[in-house]
Every structure is written in C-alpha cells, then in structure tokens.
Amino acid sequence: MKYIYSIAFVILAFACTNKNMASQSDDYYKELAQEYFEHEADELILNENKEFILAVFNDNVGDKPGNDILKYAVINKASNEIVLKESIANGKVKWVSTYEIEVVRPPGILKNDSETIEDYTSIIDVKTGKKSNKKAAQN
C-alpha cells in the first residue's frame, strides 16, 4: 500500500510541475510580446500545432474611428524569438492555416474603383517569411 501512495504522490507532483511550467511559459510569451508592443498584448493565439504564437495588440490613436494601429508579432516557441512583426494602420491579422497568417493592410484611399480589399491582403508563411498577395494567389 505504501508503494501505491508513493507512486500516486510522484505522479501528482509531476503533474503539478508540468502545469506550472506551462503557465510560466505563457507569461514569458506575454512579456516577450510586451517588449515589442510596449503594452500588454490583447490576444495570444496559437497556431494549429502550437509551434507559433500570434500576439496581437490594437491601439486606437486619438478619438476618431479609423485611427487604429494594429501591431502583431509571431513568436516561434522552439527558439523563443519573434520571427515576424509589423505595425499596420487599420490592419487585421489572423491564422489561415498551420503556418500561414493573413494580413490586411488597407490604404487610406483606394487607387481606383476596381480595387478590393484582397488587393491589400497578403498571406505570409511564418516558417519561411515568404509573402504572397491573396488576390494573385487565387488567380
């Protein structure tokens, strides 16, 4: 019976240690993103296989709508480094596949009437850094 209690205690202690390590690493990524944003991130979003984190911060500059600044950073969990980062006026970013993010960089004024938001949307592979225009990729 002593052995059963000993084994149960070891398993319980190991499980608690792993949980604490996971929460510490979450705090580490929040701090890493905060160094870039100079504020706490609004969101930390893992990709499908949990290898990368998309950290997002939205900042409304002034009281007028349309003055929003989106800052994002992609963190590689294996190397604990920011592999991509950008600041975009009125932009949007989201995961669209395991290793790809979609980034919308709208202009202040469209150049002509035939342009759509897809003309200003890029797909970026976070592993390679390769960027492609969403509209060109669809054609």
pLDDT in tens, 69-83: 899 999 999 998 999
Whole-model pTM?
A: 0.73
**pLDDT over 70, % of the chain:** 75
Question: pLDDT at position 19, please?
Answer: 35
Tokens of 36: 């870039």
Does the pLDDT value for residue 120 go beyond 70?
yes
Cβ(78)–Cβ(128) below 8 Å: no
DSSP alpha helix (H) spans, 1-139:
2-37, 134-138
pLDDT band at 136 (very low <50, low <70, confident <90, very high): low
Mean pLDDT score, 21-30: 62
Cβ(69)–Cβ(58) below 8 Å: yes
Q: What length does the chain have?
A: 139
2 contact partners, CB below 8 Å, separation of at least 6: none
Question: pLDDT at position 95, please?
Answer: 97
